[in-house]
C-alpha cells in the first residue's frame, strides 16, 4: 500500500517521509521542535490573557481594588465641588491649610483625617477639602493644625469647629463590602457628570 504525501504542520511542505505527534504531522524532528517553540509563546500569550481576565474578575471583588478605583473618582468629585463652592461665592479657590491660591502647585482633595487614620471618613465630604497637593498635602503630611485653622477661617468659628468635632468623633471602624464601594463610585461618577455638564 502506497503512503501518500502529508503536509508538515510547521513548514507547510508536502512530504512522503514524516513523523506523527499528538500535535500533528511534521517533516522531521527539527520542524516539530521549531513549531513547538513558536507555539509555546502563542500558547503562553493565550494563557496569560485568560489569567489576566480571571485576575481582573477576581480583583473586582477585592476591597483593595475597589478602593484603588474609587478614591481617585471621589477626589475628582471633591475638587469639582470645591471649585463650585468658591465660584458660587465669587471667590478664587484657596488652599484649606495655607489659605493661599494655587500658585505653582496643583490642587488636590486633602483629607483632614487621613485615610489611614480614619477609614470611615475616606469618602466623607466633611473630611475633605481643597488643598495644595505638594506644599500642604504631601510635604507637610496634610498639615493638620493649619487645616483646622483653615476650616475655621473658611466656615466661621461655629461651623468650622463643628466640622472638626464631627471628624474627631466619627472614628468607629467601618466594614465596607466591595459592592458598597462600587455603588459609591457609580454615585460619584454620576455627580461628576452632573457638575461637568452644567458648564
Taking residues 35-45, report their average pLDDT.
77
Number of domains in the chain: 2
- Exposed e or buried b per residue across 110-148, where buried means at least 16 C-beta atoms within 10 angstroms of its C-beta: bbbbeeeebbbbbbbeebbbbbbbebbbeebebbeebbb
- What pLDDT, on the 0 to 100 scale, is given for residue 35? 83
Tens digit of each residue's pLDDT (9 = 90 or more) over 104-158:
778 999 888 888 878 899 999 999 999 988 878 876 665 688 889 999 999 999 9
- Domain presence at residue 51: no
Tens digit of each residue's pLDDT (9 = 90 or more) over 47-76:
777 777 766 666 788 888 899 999 999 999
Q: Which of 162, 72, 140 is nearest to 108 (CA)?
A: 72
Q: Record the cell numbers describing residue 138, joined without a space.
A: 504631601
Give the domain extent around 91.
71-172+191-197
- What pLDDT, on the 0 to 100 scale, is given for residue 143? 66
- Exposed e or buried b per residue across 54-87, where buried means at least 16 C-beta atoms within 10 angstroms of its C-beta: eeeeeeeeeeebbbeebbebbbbbbbbbbeeeee
Residues 80 and 160 in one domain: yes
What is the spatial distance between Cα 137 and Cα 135, in angstroms, rounded to a whole number? 6
User: What is the overall mean pLDDT for the chain?
Assistant: 86
Residues 19 and 77 in one domain: no
Q: DSSP H helical segments within 60-177, as ranges?
A: 63-88, 144-155, 157-169
- Domain presence at residue 36: no
Residues 27 and 93 in one domain: no
- Domain presence at residue 85: yes
Q: Record the cell numbers describing residue 157, joined without a space.
A: 468659628
pTM: 0.69
Amino acid at each position: 500500500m502506497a503512503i501518500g504525501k502529508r503536509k508538515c504542520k510547521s513548514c507547510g511542505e508536502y512530504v512522503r517521509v514524516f513523523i506523527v505527534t499528538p500535535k500533528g504531522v511534521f517533516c522531521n524532528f527539527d520542524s516539530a521542535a521549531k513549531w513547538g517553540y513558536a507555539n509555546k509563546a502563542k500558547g503562553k500569550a493565550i494563557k496569560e490573557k485568560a489569567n489576566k481576565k480571571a485576575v481582573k474578575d477576581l480583583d473586582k471583588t477585592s476591597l483593595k481594588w475597589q478602593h484603588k478605583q474609587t478614591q481617585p473618582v471621589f477626589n475628582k468629585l471633591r475638587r469639582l465641588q470645591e471649585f463650585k463652592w468658591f465660584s458660587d461665592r465669587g471667590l478664587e479657590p484657596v488652599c484649606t491649610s495655607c489659605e493661599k491660591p494655587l500658585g505653582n502647585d496643583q490642587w488636590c482633595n486633602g483629607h483632614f483625617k487621613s485615610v489611614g487614620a480614619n477609614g470611615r471618613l475616606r469618602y466623607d465630604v466633611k473630611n475633605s477639602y481643597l488643598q495644595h497637593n505638594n506644599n500642604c498635602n504631601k510635604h507637610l503630611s496634610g498639615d493638620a493644625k493649619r487645616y483646622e485653622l483653615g476650616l475655621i477661617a473658611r466656615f466661621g468659628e461655629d461651623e468650622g469647629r463643628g466640622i472638626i468635632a464631627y471628624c474627631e468623633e466619627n472614628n468607629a471602624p467601618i466594614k465596607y463590602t466591595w459592592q458598597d464601594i462600587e455603588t459609591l463610585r457609580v454615585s460619584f461618577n454620576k455627580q461628576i457628570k452632573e457638575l461637568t455638564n452644567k458648564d
